[in-house]
Amino acid sequence: MTTEADQGVELRARVHAALSDPSRLRVVDALELGDASPKELQQLLGLPSNLLAHHLQVLEREGLVTRHRSEADRRRSYLRLVRSGLDKLTADRVLTVTRVVFVCTANSARSQLAAALWRQQNSLPVASAGTHPAAAVADGAVAVARRHRVALRPAKPLHLDDVLAPGDYIVTVCDHAHEELHAGPRDQPSPSLHWSVPDPVPVGTDVAFDAALDDLTARIHDLSPHLVAS
């Protein structure tokens, strides 16, 4: 007779088995704080595409990694680590930086909200910017911050080139910005991180903005302990 406890042990055993391969552990470490496409993982880890595909299939099957399509290039997908149950299994890395800069395309919603959320959790200096700044912060961003009591400072959207300084740690919260900054010779300087957060502005609903805020809140909570002031 199989008990609930036995099922729990079997589930844990499958997770441990999935993580027993060094290459799969390297995938988990690579996705610990940000998302990446299969091609980016292949380049980072130096694995053949067919072998990487096998490892990703194992991790997805055990619920350790999820995949979704890019909002920019629909042929591309991004992989995200499912952190549940992995707190004691993932690497405990701490990076020393001077400032965090959250970047999206328009600097009108996600990056502004991310900076506001960061100020509530971490004293490390923070800024936000866009690759193609809008004229003003989106009304939906102001509204969602008000609903959730986030101290948003809706500053005029700024271009990344006017904000970025040596020692900044860039977090792109937009697929378009991430892919633009990594295209060709305009490669984004390191250190950097990408979060594939769906854009709430085209949808425009409270639900879309609430989802974006929840996503950013969880990710910032995970990232905050890993960054300290230089």
Give residue-wise pLDDT tens across range 148-185: 999 998 789 999 999 999 989 999 999 999 999 988 65
**Domain containing residue 154: CATH number:** 3.40.50.2300
- Shared domain for 113 and 51, answered yes or no, is no
Evaluate whether residue 88 is within a structural domain. no
Counting beta carbons within 10 angstroms of the beta carbon of residue 4, is it exposed (0 to 12), middle (13 to 18) or buried (19 or more)? Answer: exposed
Q: Examine the domain organization and report whether 75 and 182 are in the same domain.
A: no
Rounded Cα gap, residues 122 and 118, in angstroms: 6
Residue 17 included in any domain: yes
Q: Is residue 28 assigned to a domain? A: yes
Identify whether 86 is part of a domain: no
Amino acid in the structure at residue 133: P
Residue 214 and residue 131 share a domain: yes
- Residue 130, domain extent: 95-229
> Which of 114, 103, 107 has its CA nearest to residue 135?
107
Pairing of strands 65-69, 77-81: antiparallel
Q: Is residue 90 part of a domain?
A: no
Q: 50-82: per-residue pLDDT in tens? A: 999 999 999 999 999 999 999 999 999 999 999
What pLDDT was estimated at residue 92?
Answer: 61
Q: State residue 91's pLDDT score.
A: 56
The per-residue pLDDT for 85 is: 59
Total number of domains constituting the chain = 2
| For residues 13-28, average pLDDT | 91
pLDDT at 16: 85
Q: How far apart are CA 167 and CA 156, in angstroms?
A: 23
What's the mean per-residue pLDDT of the chain? 90
User: CB under 8 Å to 215, separation ≥6 — which residues?
Assistant: 195, 197, 198
Let me know whether 76 and 113 are in one domain: no
Last residue of a domain, one of 81, 111, 145: 81
